[in-house]
Amino acid sequence: MSTDLYHAIYDKLLEDIHKKYVLYQLLIGVKYLHEMGLIHRDLKPSNILLDQNCSSKICDFGLARLLKSNEK
């Protein structure tokens, strides 16, 4: 991954279409994490990695926690 979202925003590297695509990927990623019962707890632009194709990855799961299951 070549940069993070914080630097991409600060350096004004993203156009509107790229911003929408990154937001879409971020929402899909958070939805997946929540479906698996995981809460990130430190989601910020510097924890979203981007490559040249605007593919994004969520990183830094140091504060992440699992939700308690209701199953016994």
The reply to whether 42 belongs to the active site is: yes
Give per-residue burial for 8-21: e unless 16+ CB within 10 Å, then b. beeeeebeeeeeeb
- Is 66 within 8 Å of 37 (Cβ atoms)? yes
Query: Which one of the listed residues 4, 16, 42, 60 is annotated catalytic?
Result: 42
DSSP 8-state secondary structure symbol assigned to residue 41 = S
Catalytic site positions:
42
